[in-house]
Every structure is written in structure tokens, then in C-alpha cells.
């Protein structure tokens, strides 16, 4: 347990404008919670920052008292890096401002903002940037790990659209970084995780998307996997950048458009999002409806912000989660066999596996243009172990690991860093591939003592 002088704590309290939370406070347990309920850690202190000055004060306090630091944005990270035992949690969740300049097509976003906050402001002007698939995800953590979502095939990964950032480094200094200003640090921020400091502002490039798009779900029985999945693979390969279709394999949730007797049965749900002209959407998605004989479908025009929330009910906070993930340059038939057998043996009705179709613009950027290095990934498969009862920890974790092992021979060997769990530190080098050594050099320059290490860590060179 960290022993901090009372006078030091009193000094910190007066130095911050935000909220100071200690273990004895009534809101401590709520403040230390993260999205993944399998993570149960107890920080020594929590500073809920109101602005950049609070971040600087909190960093100085941690430095003076030799404390470990964790950084909380949206607290959605699967590894639970937002919270560490006996650490000072720098909680950015109150810094939620999103300001949009529709003429310049820029968004200025604080690190506590969630995807829903971003979409709410940007979609007022029919603008968007590539983000994730769950509206409760934090913009900061998603971005720092690379970021991708429904419009990435058209506009690239999130960091391809990051124009500039403001960051406080380990020495307490403020930096505004961009291609023109401290370009090496800016390069490292675009995918290098939280290894280099506390980002207090992101500036994003925006694109015209929505406010209406065409999309929805087509749900097939898992027993039709032999015909549906190869046709899905062929469709993705020939699709324009405006079309994204992800496959989700799981037991059917009680979706209102599915017959009641389908609920709980193994399914393949094809999630479609077309961001071309809405009037062309039905024709563009029509082939997806004929891969087999579907259980049901729900397709049509809808607000893009609504589609961004479509999977929220399946990804609510408070469940226990353990993930494993691979990147793929192709999906041979053998991968479909592995997935089908695993879904037939799910240990919890909340477990699922999704095939995220990348490609398009995400593959046209040179591997060394950003720290995010997975430019050869056409598909990302995330095995999502999810359950509610702690008694199921072992069987759900084992199911996830066994499917991961069975898929390994067909994968590229790389991995999306945001999908790494807390026990996968040995895969950090694989996440960055040829960019790892360059990242370690940037780390040595800006964080030589590895102050920011409660993350998927890149040690200083």
C-alpha cells in the first residue's frame, strides 16, 4: 500500500479544479469501475481532472511521490489499463468537450469524450471520422491504439484522420504535435497507445457522412455457414469502399425482427453499413440477402448516429470479458470451420466472435506512415469471451484461448493493440511489427523512465 504524507495530499487537493477521490470516499468504488467487470483494482487516489492544469498537477504529484500512474478516458479498454492497484488514477472522464468546425471540417475533442459525444456534435453537420462500433467507447483510447470502424474502408483508420494533438509528457511539459511540429512524437501517438503522455486534446479531420446511411442486419442460421461465409468473403473482396459488412457469430439475442423460436439459436449476423447515396443502398446490399435462407433481416435508411449505437445492447458495461484477436490477410475455408465449431460450443450466451472487414483505404497507407502498423490486415477476428458469473471465468477464458490457438496457423501474426488483454504483453511487438524499434526510440526521448507503463507497454530503447 502506498504511504503518502497527508500534507502532500492536501497540497494536491488545493492544486486541482476537478474532484479528488480517496478510498474512504463514498464514490470511490464507482469511480474505480471500468467497462470490463473482470478487472477489480484499487487505486491509491483518483484525480478527476477538469482541465489540462489538473493533469499537470496530478503528474507532478505522482512524480514527487514515486507513484504509478494510470490514465482513464472512457475506461473501455479490455485490459483495464485505466485502473491499477496502488496507483494515482488520472481520470479524464469529465473532460468531454467536442467542438466541430463545419467549414474547416475539423473536430476538437477532449480525452473524456465518448464516441456518442463525438457523433452527436459531428452528425449535426453531416460529418464523421472513422471511430469504433460501440458508442460508449472512449475516443482517446480508441484513437491512441489506431482505431477503426464502419467507415474505415472509405476513410482509413482513426489515426489516419488525426491532424494534431495536445499532450502533457512525463516531465509535465505541454506539446502541440502535428506533422509540422514534433513530427516523431505525433507519429508515435498515431497508434502507439498511451505510452508517451496524457493527450488533452485531439484534432480530427472530418468527412461528409450521413446524417442518413443505409444498413442493418441480415441474420442466417449457423448451419448455413458453409455457403454463407464463402459468399461473404467474396462479397467483401469485390465491394466498394463505401460498403462495410462485418460478420458476428453467436447465439441469437432477442432481436425484435427474429421469430421467437430463433432466439438462443446459433447464428451468423451480417452487419451492413453503406455510406454511398442512400437511394443506392438497397441495391448495394441486395447480394447479402441471398447468401442463403435468412432467419430474418432489418435493413433500411437510418441515422448514422443510430447505427453507431446498434451494438451497444450487446456491449454494456458490467459483464466479465476476456478477448483474443488475430489479423488476417485472407480467410481460408479452414478458418470458417474453426469458427463454426467454436460457436456451437459457446460456454455463455454472451460469447461471440466477430469478423471485422478492413481493406480499402486502411491498406493503402504505408506501414511506416503511422505507429499503427497493421496495413496488410484485410480482416480482424476478435474472439469475445463474455459472461456474468465469476464461476464461469475458467471455462469462458479457456474457450477463447482454444479458438485463438486453432486460428493461429491462418493469421498474419500481427494484432490490433486495442484488442490485447492484460496477459498479452508478449504480443506488443507483434502489434507494431517493423515500427516497434522506432517507437522505443520515441519512448526513450519523451518518457525515459517509463512513467506511462500501465498500458500495452513499449519500454524505452
Three-state SS sequence of 39-68: CCCCCCEEEECCCHHHHHHHHHHHHHCCCC
pLDDT at 1: 59
Residues whose CB falls within 8 Å of the CB of residue 301, separated by 6 or more in sequence, listed in order: 212, 213, 214, 278, 281
Which DSSP symbol is given to 20? E
Distance from the Cα of residue 364 to its chain's centroid: 21
Which DSSP string do the residues of 416-454 spell out, in sequence order? -GGG--TT-GGGHHHHHGGGHHHHHHHHHHH-TT----S
- Which ranges in 131-247 belong to alpha helices (H)? 139-144, 152-155, 183-189, 225-238
Residues paired with residue 97 on neighbouring β-strands, in sequence order:
none
User: pLDDT for 148-163, tens place per residue?
Assistant: 999 999 999 999 999 9
pLDDT at 77: 96
80/33 Cα distance (integer angstroms)? 9
| Residue 363 CA: distances (Å) to CA of 129, 228, 290, 374, 441 | 17, 25, 28, 8, 26
273/148 Cα distance (integer angstroms)? 14
Res. 312: pLDDT tops 70 = yes
| Residue 151 CA: distances (Å) to CA of 83, 106, 204, 354, 368 | 31, 17, 15, 17, 22
Of all residues in the chain, what percent carry a pLDDT higher than 70? 100
pLDDT at 3: 79
329/300 Cα distance (integer angstroms)? 31
Res. 4 pLDDT band, cuts 50 70 90: confident
* SS3 state of residue 185: helix
What the block records as the C-alpha cell of 263 is 432466439
pLDDT at 322: 98
Which DSSP symbol is given to 303? E
Render the burial of 270-302: b for 16+ CB within 10 Å, e for the rest: bbbbbbeebeebeebbeebeebbebbbbebeeb
| Torsion angle (degrees, nearest 10) of CA 423, 81, 365, 162 | 180
Please, what are the domains in the chain? 6-91 (3.30.43.10), 98-209 (3.30.465.10), 212-419 (3.40.462.20)
Res. 5: pLDDT tops 90 = no
User: pLDDT for 406-427, tens place per residue?
Assistant: 999 999 999 999 999 999 999 9
What the block records as the C-alpha cell of 168 is 502533457
User: pLDDT for 217-227, tens place per residue?
Assistant: 999 999 999 99
User: pLDDT for 109-143, tens place per residue?
Assistant: 999 999 999 999 999 999 999 999 999 999 999 99
210 Rama class: left (phi>0) / alpha (psi -120 to 50) / beta: left
Res. 8 pLDDT band, cuts 50 70 90: confident
* CB atoms closer than 10 angstroms to residue 461: 14
pLDDT at 46: 97
Res. 272: pLDDT tops 70 = yes
Cis peptide before 211 (omega within 30 of 0): yes
189/193 Cα distance (integer angstroms)? 7
Amino acid at each position: 500500500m502506498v504511504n503518502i504524507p497527508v500534507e502532500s495530499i492536501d497540497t494536491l487537493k488545493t492544486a486541482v479544479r476537478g474532484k479528488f477521490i480517496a478510498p474512504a470516499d463514498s464514490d470511490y468504488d464507482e469511480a474505480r469501475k471500468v467497462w470490463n467487470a473482470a478487472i477489480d483494482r484499487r487505486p491509491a487516489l483518483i484525480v478527476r481532472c477538469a482541465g489540462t492544469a489538473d493533469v499537470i498537477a496530478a503528474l507532478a504529484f505522482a512524480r514527487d511521490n514515486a507513484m504509478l500512474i494510470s490514465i482513464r478516458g472512457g475506461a473501455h479498454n479490455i485490459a483495464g489499463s485505466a485502473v491499477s492497484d496502488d496507483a494515482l488514477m488520472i481520470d479524464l472522464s469529465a473532460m468531454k468537450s467536442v467542438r466541430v468546425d463545419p467549414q474547416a471540417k475539423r473536430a476538437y475533442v477532449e480525452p473524456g469524450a465518448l464516441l456518442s459525444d463525438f457523433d452527436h456534435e459531428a452528425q449535426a453537420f453531416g460529418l464523421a471520422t472513422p471511430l469504433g462500433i460501440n458508442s460508449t467507447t472512449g475516443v482517446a483510447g480508441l484513437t491512441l491504439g489506431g482505431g477503426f470502424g464502419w467507415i474505415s474502408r472509405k476513410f482509413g483508420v482513426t489515426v489516419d484522420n488525426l491532424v494534431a494533438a495536445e499532450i502533457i509528457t512525463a516531465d509535465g511539459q505541454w506539446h502541440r504535435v502535428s506533422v509540422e511540429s514534433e513530427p516523431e512524437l505525433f507519429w508515435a501517438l498515431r497508434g502507439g497507445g498511451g505510452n508517451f503522455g496524457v493527450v488533452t486534446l485531439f484534432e480530427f479531420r472530418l468527412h461528409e457522412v450521413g446524417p442518413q446511411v443505409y444498413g442493418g442486419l441480415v441474420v442466417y442460421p449457423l448451419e448455413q455457414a458453409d455457403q454463407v461465409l464463402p459468399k461473404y468473403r467474396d462479397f467483401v473482396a469485390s465491394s466498394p469502399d463505401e460498403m462495410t459488412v462485418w460478420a458476428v457469430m453467436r447465439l441469437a439475442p432477442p432481436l425484435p425482427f427474429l421469430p421467437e423460436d430463433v432466439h438462443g439459436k446459433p447464428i451468423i449476423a451480417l452487419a451492413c453499413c453503406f455510406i454511398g447515396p442512400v437511394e443506392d443502398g438497397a441495391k448495394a446490399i441486395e447480394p447479402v440477402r441471398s447468401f442463403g435462407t435468412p432467419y430474418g433481416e432489418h435493413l433500411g435508411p437510418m441515422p448514422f448516429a443510430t447505427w453507431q449505437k446498434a451494438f451497444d445492447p450487446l456491449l454494456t458495461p458490467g459483464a466479465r470479458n476476456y478477448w483474443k484477436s488475430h489479423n488476417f490477410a485472407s480467410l481460408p475455408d479452414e478458418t470458417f470451420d474453426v469458427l463454426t465449431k467454436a460457436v456451437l460450443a459457446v460456454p455463455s450466451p454472451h460469447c461471440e466472435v466477430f469478423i471485422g472487414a478492413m481493406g480499402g483505404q486502411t491498406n493503402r497507407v504505408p506501414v511506416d506512415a503511422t505507429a499503427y502498423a497493421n496495413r496488410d490486415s484485410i480482416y480482424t477476428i476478435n474472439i469475445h469471451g463474455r459472461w456474468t458469473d465469476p464461476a464461469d471465468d475458467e471455462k469462458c477464458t479457456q474457450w477463447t484461448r482454444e479458438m485463438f490457438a486453432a486460428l493461429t496457423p491462418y493469421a498474419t501474426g500481427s494484432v490490433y493493440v486495442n484488442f490485447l488483454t492484460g496477459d498479452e504483453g508478449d504480443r506488443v511487438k507483434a502489434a507494431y511489427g517493423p515500427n516497434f524499434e522506432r517507437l522505443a526510440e520515441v519512448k526513450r526521448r519523451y518518457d525515459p523512465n517509463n512513467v506511462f507503463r500501465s498500458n500495452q507497454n513499449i519500454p524505452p530503447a
